[in-house]
Amino acid sequence: MTAEVTTVPGLSLFVPRTFQVTSTRRETRDTYTLRIRPLEGSSFSFQPGQFNMLYAFGIGEVPISISGVRPRTYDLEHTVRAVGCVTRALVRLRKGAPIGVRGPFGRGWPLEEIRGRDVLFLAGGIGLAALRAPLQYMLAQRANYGQIVLLYGARSPADLLYRTELERWRQRSGLHVFITVDRVDAYWRGHVGVVTDLLPLAERSLDLKRAIVLMCGPEVMMRVAARMLEVHGVTPERIYLSLERNMKCAVGFCGHCQLGPAFICRDGPVFAFPEVQPLLEVREL
């Protein structure tokens, strides 16, 4: 296997392209989806699971998964939760504002390898943002995949992302969706508890002894979920997950995103579970 070598003269590797925000959609109290488009009108292609470095003018740059594209306009979508100064600045951007973009970076989901298979998506919280692009991709070529099930856990009903879209996909695209929350509100009629409690529901639609699992959420959730999946007959090599770390360069130079031998930016963010299983078991690695 020979990797393609990208030689970038001088410092241009670190300079973002300018995009424009075409619209923003508020998903929850602190989470927004930004739709953006290259300013020069040139195209942008990516693999579902890859990420971009989004730059807020004068504030900073953060790695954000590409959450998909908007139908028809093909604007890139990134779902951003406001937790630090850069993400707070990003969600404040309004229509027409310039935004810097470097990317796409990293290794995406193995969507070609798993053609024809049943696929279980397992999402925790904002982790669904990293799973939306592969979901959208698979549903767009529905016939190439078997059963598709999404199990999604959020903290509370108010924290649920993409609610109308998930409902539409459930009705029109043959997606099985099961949602659970940790804390209820007065109107919640659905499941309460951790996301792996929903595994028996998934088993109604697909065979966990053969299905592929794509997973993204807090690391503690993914560690526990991997154990529960094993109990339900999912072998580790059928589990793929997306990891998150601090990143400054996204190309393996800044050192921030290391997890043991792996640079998350370059070797991930998507990994086959056996590649990282022992590393995730070590606290503070």
Partner 1 sequence: MEKRAHLPNVGKALRMEKRHLQVLLDALRGAGYTVIGPRVRDGAIVYEEVRSLADLPIGWTDEQEKGHYRLKGRGDEAFFAFTTGPNSWKQFLHPPILSLSRARRTENGLQWELPNDPPPRYAFLGVRACDLHAIFVLDRVFTGGQYVEGYYEARRKATFLIAVQCTVAGGTCFCASMGTGPKAPPGADLVFTELADIFVVEIGTDQGAALMAQVPCQPASEVDLASVEGRLEETARSMRRQLDITGLPDLLKRNLEHPRWDEVAQRCLTCGNCTMVCPTCFCFTVEDKTDLAGTEAERVRYWDSCFTTAFTYTAGRAIRQSAKARYRQWLTHKLATWWDQFGMSGCVGCGRCITWCPVGIDLTEEVWAIRQTDRAQREGS
- Please report, as ranges, the residues that interact with partner 1 according to CB under 8 A: 3-16, 18, 20, 39, 57-61, 81, 83-84, 98, 100, 244-246, 248-249, 251-256, 258, 260-261, 263, 266, 282-285
Whichever of 211 and 251 has its CB closer to partner 1, that residue is: 251
Query: Could you tell me the smallest distance in angstroms from the CB atom of residue 56 to partner 1?
Result: 8
Query: Could you tell me the smallest distance in angstroms from the CB atom of residue 283 to partner 1?
Result: 8
Query: Could you tell me the smallest distance in angstroms from the CB atom of residue 157 to partner 1?
Result: 22
Q: Looking at 103-255, list the stretches that DSSP marks H as alpha helix, in order from N- to C-terminal side.
A: 128-140, 163-172, 199-202, 219-231
Whichever of 100 and 236 has its CB closer to partner 1, that residue is: 100
3-state secondary structure string across 181-200: ECCCCCCCCCEECCHHHHHH
Whichever of 15 and 231 has its CB closer to partner 1, that residue is: 15
Eight-class DSSP state of 96 = T
Alpha-carbon distance of 199 to 215, in angstroms, equals 13
Whichever of 211 and 257 has its CB closer to partner 1, that residue is: 257
Whichever of 148 and 251 has its CB closer to partner 1, that residue is: 251
Q: Which residues pair with 193 in a beta bridge?
A: none
Q: With beta carbons less than 8 A apart as the criterion, state whether 160 and 132 touch.
A: no
Residue 173 CB neighbour total at 10 angstroms: 14
CA-based torsion, 264, 267, 270, 275: positive or negative: negative
Query: Could you tell me the smallest distance in angstroms from the CB atom of residue 84 to partner 1?
Result: 7
- Crossing angle for the helix pair 273-280 and 219-231, to the nearest 10 degrees: 120
Query: Could you tell me the smallest distance in angstroms from the CB atom of residue 156 to partner 1?
Result: 18
